[in-house]
Amino acid sequence: MHAHLRAARPLAGALAITLPALLAACTAAPPPPAPVSTADPLPAEADAARDELAALAAAAQDRHLTAAYTLATANGPARTISVTSANDGSWRVDVPGWGRGGTVDVSLAATGAGLFQCALPSAGRPEPASCVRLGDPDDAVPGKLDPRVQHPFTDSLEVLTDRRAPLAISPAAPPAGMTGQCYSVDSTSASLNAPLDVGIYCYRTDGTPAGVRAAFGTLKLAGEPGAAPATVQLAGPVAEGEPVGRQAPTESPGTP
């Protein structure tokens, strides 16, 4: 009997040691839950904004019209830009006060015959309108001849509908005096080689461009758009010669 008692004492001691440890393990507080990330909704919102803008830009590609836009820049008074998007896909944008130091009005147009710059009768050029062919219809306007205000109505729309373009897009409040659904458009690549100016782009729900705020200035729709023609007409006949540049001509040393 004493042998049994001696055998039981070590067992009781082991139970006395392990039982509190087991109870402590069972009653220990569970580990805190992992923190919930708040960054997940942002990509979804960005994707939604990109989808919305792409849909509006696609509608703008199909929106043929004639319209006037006011152009406000840091230098000089506001001007009226005339935009024509014809039913056959040709287009024309008239830009007053762009050429030769702001003294010559110009018109850019793309038809089935090519891409043209036309010089319009204006303060610095009283002659009748005439046009110079710059290239094929889908060619880019050379940088030194590019007023950039035509891009939001033409080739920038292709960039905005391209989901592969390196762009960051988010909803934006309309700039003062502008209406429509607006989006902030920025580039995510320093090497973006596309006819797109970063800024704020606004559209009506039917695809009508309502306005743009970018480095070239602020464009705002002025009044209601009109019906589109079947095709655009150049401002004048096509002639041989040099296109109008932006800089004012410099006087030669022999000029009195």
pLDDT at 44: 65
How many angstroms separate the Cα of 102 from the Cα of each of 79, 95, 117? Answer: 11, 10, 16
Mean pLDDT, all residues of the chain: 85
CATH number of the domain that residue 194 is part of: 2.50.20
Q: Does residue 10 fall inside a structural domain? A: no
- The helix/strand count (H/E) of the chain reads as 3, 11
By DSSP bridging, strand 130-135 and strand 167-172 are unpaired
Q: Does residue 129 fall inside a structural domain? A: yes
pLDDT at 192: 62
Q: How many domains are contained in the chain?
A: 1
Q: Does residue 242 fall inside a structural domain? A: no
30 by Cβ neighbours in 10 Å (0-12 / 13-18 / 19+) ranks as exposed
* pLDDT one-digit tens code per residue, 23-78: 444 444 555 554 444 444 445 677 899 999 999 999 999 999 999 999 999 888 99
Asked if 82 and 71 count as a contact pair (C-beta separation under 8 A), the reply is no
pLDDT at 30: 52
Residue predicted with more confidence, 80 or 8: 80
* pLDDT one-digit tens code per residue, 152-179: 999 999 999 998 899 999 999 999 999 9
| Residue 203 pLDDT > 60 | yes
Q: Does residue 231 fall inside a structural domain? A: no
Q: How sure is the predictor about 150, in pLDDT bands with cuts at 50, 70 and 90?
A: very high
Domain of 81 in residue numbering reads as 42-221
Which residue in the block uniquely carries the two structure tokens 């023609």?
Answer: 229
| Residue 94 pLDDT > 70 | yes
pLDDT at 249: 79
pLDDT at 248: 87
Q: Which residues pair with 55 in a beta bridge?
A: none
Q: Whole-angstrom Cα distance, residue 98 to residue 79?
A: 10
Can you read off the two tokens belonging to residue 234? 């150049």
- Of 120, 122, 99, 118, nearest to 108 (Cα)? 118
pLDDT at 75: 84
Q: Does residue 1 fall inside a structural domain? A: no
Phi, psi dihedrals of residue 123, rounded to the nearest 5°? -55, -40
Q: Does residue 238 fall inside a structural domain? A: no
SS3 assignment, position 232? coil
Q: What is the mean pLDDT of residues 108-114?
A: 98
pLDDT at 43: 58
Q: Does residue 188 fall inside a structural domain? A: yes
